[in-house]
Structure 1
Amino acid sequence: MPDLSLLDIVNLCDNCRVHQPDPVPSPYDSERLVPFYLSESPDSPVIGLLRPVIVEQLKLENQRSRDSGQRELWALNVDESNFVSRRNRPSGPSVSFRDWLDTHTKRTVAMKELCERWRDTLLFEDVCGPKKWREELYPVYADPFGVHDHPNTAAPGQATNFVFEMERSACALFGVVTYGVHMTIYDEVEVDGEKTLRVWVPTRALSKPTFPGMLDNTVAGGIGSGMSVFETLVKECMEEASIPEHVVRKYTRASGAVSYFYRTSKGWLQPEVEYVYELAIPAGVDPQLFEPRPSDGEVESFELLTHTETIRKMRQGLFKPNCALVLLNLYIRLGYVTPDDEPDYMKILTRLHGTFDFERW
């Protein structure tokens, strides 16, 4: 692979646009993505995006329900002669849950049965088949930019932004926004009179179901349903990198978020938000306290690399795409990538904090 520019690296991850050409020409540019709404109400929030192949499968699911004497799950507004307008959005095709699925519990149960059946029948084996199945529940929110709440923490009768939860691996089939945490452990040292940033970089285990053997951020993981952002980070630090809880709580700092719309090589949709944390190894404290070590089998090894080494490996396409974005975000914040030395600085800066073309959903 030839050396990638820093903007090329962004394009590898933030590679999907809604109802317009992708940043890099894609075989999926011609697909018409259909918004997935929570309910049949004209005021319903949109919670995902569906590819045509999923819309066709949901038609078959409704037929299956009718044949078995059960209620349909899906309201399919896909007939061009009878489109329903939605919440100040252009008239067009849409899909939603039927209105009888009016609680988060009913929706969760329905999605559980559906996704497990698709897993067992190998319907979308490359996404949620047995080898891809994660056995983790991810939350879906009415407002993807809103509060991360959960019924377990809400007061009785209190409305929540949380609307249901579903199997992690199947989220890309429904184009719902997912969330994660990424933390970078680093220090700054002087080498030959120049300040140099060094970052702890893991190599992903070859057994990982996604991006095996690629380079990653020091600690990273998805935010499961009912988990807070920071508590997820604490858990992942202990499980993936053997960093003690008291160290994480004392020395870690939140430093924003990175967001992007990733389309997989097979066209599946993954709009994602990664909450970003940093742990700068403090002077005068034993650095071994912050040295990550593999723990749960998800990491092959950790290596301390300079920022120039990591950028070189990014340009070679060796990093998991979203992890390269998190490191670029760090290097911009710390002044290792500047507008004077990077011609695409503003394009990169704004693309690191995208909104998934949400107004077009």
Structure 2
Amino acid sequence: MSGPKNRQRMAENAPYSNLELVNLVDTWPSPSSPSYVTHLERYYTLQISPFPEPVGYLASHFVSRLPLTEKYWTINPTARTITITSPKETFESRSDVLNTTLRAGHEAYPTNNIRSLKNWSNELFPLLYPLTREVILELDGCGVDMLGIINESVFLVASTLGSSPETRKVWVARRAMWKAAWPGMLDCTAGGGLASNETPLDGIVREAWEEVRLDRAYIREHAKYVGENRLQLCETEVGEEGCQMQAQHLFEVELPENMIPEIGDGEVMGVCLLGVDDLKQKMREGEVKPASCMVWLDWMIRHGYLTEDNERDLEEIKRRLKREFTMVGYDEALASREKEALTEQ
């Protein structure tokens, strides 16, 4: 549920409870659900030769509209698999085959009507093979959602230094109007996708500087890694039927009075300072990007703003923020990544 039209729908369907906000982004059925098998009939599992386990979920409507050459792509309608086979089965060869296909799909827009490929991101993102935690290729960011692979991202919550829980305020960015997904909506302080060859700390240092010009050295020294959220959705960021497996690596930092976030590379159109109660109200009114609401909910739980006394659905919210992915091996791989992030501090 994204894009300008759905931003309007968010406001029209307000107010939201915290659990209703979770329901917007935790939409992929669990394997124990009666609808799970039927749901998977709408998808192909993505495989990369010669690796035996799948790495993503590709919606059927994408398969029929992508420029897939038989030389490199094998489709098995019975097994519901789609496999990339590269000439040399090397990192470079696999990356070239996939990015060539993505580029052709991008250039065919809007004829193919794949909105995920409308914008070429010019940023490379890793495709992780979960069983070995090996990065087996890298691809342009426009293909991450469409292919339904794991999408590691980093998010920063910045608050005022030395304030009490009652007076604490947080810095909240507003997304630029040109953004393809959720333009003009409130977000976290900073955040974005984790690029190839980046650690979570490297990623948040980069994003905090690029988006809101927070000093790199200060963020590297003071930003605290506090864990991760795991979300699995039944649509892409721009609202097409698909799959998103989001691993949100979470950081927080306190900023001194003289360190004020400001507009950086144009990804955000402004940054405002809000009290926690004001932020809660913005979330209820549907003004905050849904996936970013999950970051704020986690922060509010950890800092005692959401408790069993004021949130009856607290335990369910906590459980669903840390859901298990349905792709074999990803949870174990991300647990290892989390340990690495903690050792960086």
TM-score (ref. length: structure 1): 0.79
Q: Is the 8 A contact 1:205 1:299 kept in 2?
A: yes
* Cα offset, 1:227, TM superposition: 2.0
User: Which residue of the partner structure matches residue 232 of structure 2?
Assistant: 261
Unaligned residue ranges in structure 2 (runs of 5+): 1-12, 331-345
* Cα offset, 1:280, TM superposition: 2.3
| Distance (Å, rounded) in 2 between the aligned partners of 1:197 and 1:73 | 55
User: Which residue of the partner structure matches residue 127 of structure 1?
Assistant: 116
Does residue 177 in structure 1 map to residue 150 in structure 2?
yes
| Distance (Å, rounded) in 1 between the aligned partners of 2:203 and 2:34 | 35
User: Which residue of the partner structure matches residue 336 of structure 2?
Assistant: none
| Distance (Å, rounded) in 2 between the aligned partners of 1:31 and 1:311 | 38
Mapping for residues 234-273 of structure 1, pairs under 5 Å:
234-262=205-233, 263-264=235-236, 265-273=239-247
* Cα offset, 1:357, TM superposition: 2.2
Does residue 61 in structure 1 map to residue 68 in structure 2?
yes
The range that moved more, 217-226 or 257-266, is 257-266
| Distance (Å, rounded) in 1 between the aligned partners of 2:40 and 2:94 | 31
Closer/same/farther in 2, CA of residues 124 and 164 from structure 1, 3 Å limit = farther
User: Which residue of the partner structure matches residue 297 of structure 1?
Assistant: 266
Closer/same/farther in 2, CA of residues 101 and 314 from structure 1, 3 Å limit = farther
| Distance (Å, rounded) in 2 between the aligned partners of 1:311 and 1:22 | 33
What is the aligned length? 310
| Distance (Å, rounded) in 2 between the aligned partners of 1:231 and 1:292 | 19
Cα deviations by residue, 1:21-49 (Å, 9 ceiling, x for unpaired): 789xxxx95852221122266xx121001
Q: Which amino acid aligns with 1:277?
A: F
Match of 1:322 among 273, 291, 297: 291
* Cα offset, 1:125, TM superposition: 4.0
User: Which residue of the partner structure matches residue 36 of structure 1?
Assistant: 46
User: Which residue of the partner structure matches residue 253 of structure 2?
Assistant: 279
Unaligned residue ranges in structure 1 (runs of 5+): 66-71, 80-91, 148-160
TM-score (ref. length: structure 2): 0.83
Q: Which amino acid aligns with 1:107?
A: R
| Distance (Å, rounded) in 1 between the aligned partners of 2:141 and 2:293 | 22
Match of 1:212 among 159, 183, 196: 183
Closer/same/farther in 2, CA of residues 99 and 222 from structure 1, 3 Å limit = closer
User: Which residue of the partner structure matches residue 72 of structure 2?
Assistant: 73
Q: Is the 8 A contact 1:17 1:356 kept in 2?
A: no
**Secondary structure in 2 aligned to 1:213?**
coil
Does residue 8 in structure 1 map to residue 15 in structure 2?
no
* Cα offset, 1:107, TM superposition: 0.9
Cα deviations by residue, 1:314-337 (Å, 9 ceiling, x for unpaired): 111111111110010001011110
Closer/same/farther in 2, CA of residues 128 and 143 from structure 1, 3 Å limit = same
* Cα offset, 1:203, TM superposition: 0.7
Q: Is the 8 A contact 2:232 2:243 kept in 1?
A: yes
The range that moved more, 265-274 or 114-123, is 265-274
Cα deviations by residue, 1:217-244 (Å, 9 ceiling, x for unpaired): 0011111112222111111111111111
Closer/same/farther in 2, CA of residues 209 and 56 from structure 1, 3 Å limit = closer
Match of 1:288 among 258, 267, 278: 258
Q: How well do the aligned residues superpose, as a CA RMSD in angstroms?
A: 2.5
* Cα offset, 1:312, TM superposition: 1.0
| Distance (Å, rounded) in 2 between the aligned partners of 1:210 and 1:135 | 17
Mapping for residues 101-120 of structure 1, pairs under 5 Å:
102-120=89-107
Closer/same/farther in 2, CA of residues 237 and 21 from structure 1, 3 Å limit = farther
Greater Rg over alpha carbons, structure: 1
| Distance (Å, rounded) in 2 between the aligned partners of 1:133 and 1:270 | 18
Q: Which amino acid aligns with 1:74?
A: W
Q: Which amino acid aligns with 1:214?
A: M
Q: Is the 8 A contact 2:213 2:264 kept in 1?
A: yes
Closer/same/farther in 2, CA of residues 166 and 135 from structure 1, 3 Å limit = same
